Structure 1
Amino acid sequence: MGGMAGLEGMEQPRPRSEAAAAHGECPGVDGEATPAPVGPAPAAPDLVGDPTLGEVRLPSRPQSARTARRLTAAILLKQWTLSPQLAEHAVLLVSELVGNAVRHTGARTFGLRILRRRGWIRVEVRDPSRGLPCLMPVQAMDVSGRGLFLVDKLSDRWGVDLLPRGKTTWFEVRVNDR
């Protein structure tokens, strides 16, 4: 199943036709692809907070994407001992969601939360803007606008929950629980 940005709780089944992805007639708010390999020195959650215990607030600056990537890698690899490939995908996707929050919301801070339940991980980025991100069609030579395309392709489902003040953009990935 795949989720597409929309109203709280709305999801769209996967697979979707190319025409469904082409409904990007609103201004693009997805960010550039910023692949970030899972590095050997992830940030320790105790330095900025543990997003598995509650929302971690980070400043809305480009440098915060690095912190979010390192937190995600530390949790998925060290705390939950998930596969390196899954961690690499999650790190890339959290970078995209954080990039969107930093570039397109005008917020001073954003929130990061990482949740695990049986068979799934969920990563959430909360910001004060109620502007919905748009999944834009992507061409082979595009140098920007691939963020939500990557989220759509690499996650099992994703979406946006509107809040009274802002929104939470999230993605979920299946995991094999032992």
Structure 2
Amino acid sequence: MAGLEGMEQSRQRAGTAAPARWTPMVEDELTRKAFELFGDPALGEVRLPSRPESAAAARRLTQAVMLRHWGLSAQLAEHAVLLVSELVGNAVRHTGAREFGLRMARRRGWVRVEVRDPSRGLPCLLPVRETDVNGRGLFLVDKLSDRWGVDLLARGKTTWFEMRVGERGER
């Protein structure tokens, strides 16, 4: 039982009541736990279990790095969090992997976010219609990032996106 959800289930079995509603303090605690469990994706690749609930941890890590570590705009962080969620969802749903990697890098004028998995199957950007309920992930990545792509590796691939940032962390 790994990850934040496993910790939450253990806490509930121990008889500790879960908070009734979201508060900033609860979010900070969950973010702190995510960093303790997985590490800082801005310092190097962190490995997360390939389970749907890992998307929440990846979102928390991304948001904390963008807003707290790098001091970027809330809108940029919000877009990055959405795109990370889409890439993680693809890695979890389509690769059959046991885990995936998340890494973030910042260089002058750019932020880069990478999700690595052991599958060499390439993601496919499909045309999207208003009535579609699935298949919008890469469409969103294409629309909200400044550039994105896939790097094939000897064992697997890295799917990445980059977003341009201004001097004050704004798009």
TM-score (norm 2): 0.79
Could you tell me how far apart the structure 2 residues matched to 1:105 and 1:59 are? 12
Aligned to 2:77: 87
Count of equivalent residues: 140
Q: Which amino acid aligns with 1:145?
A: G
Q: Which amino acid aligns with 1:114?
A: M
Q: Which amino acid aligns with 2:138?
A: L
Could you tell me how far apart the structure 2 residues matched to 1:134 and 1:177 are? 33
Q: Which of 77, 95, 104 is equivalent to 1:114? A: 104
Instruction: From the two aligned structures, give the one with the greater helix fraction.
Output: 2
Aligned to 2:156: 166
Cα drift, residue 48 of structure 1: 1.8
> Alpha-carbon deviations, 1:88-128, whole Å to 9, x = none?
00000000000000000000000000000000000000000
Q: Which amino acid aligns with 1:99?
A: G
Q: Which amino acid aligns with 1:65?
A: A
TM-score (norm 1): 0.76
Aligned to 1:99: 89
The answer to whether 1:49 aligns with 2:44 is no
SS of 1:90's partner is helix
Q: Which amino acid aligns with 2:106?
A: R
In structure 2, runs of 5+ residues without a counterpart are 1-22
Q: Which of 163, 174, 177 is equivalent to 2:167? A: 177
Percent identity, aligned pairs only? 77
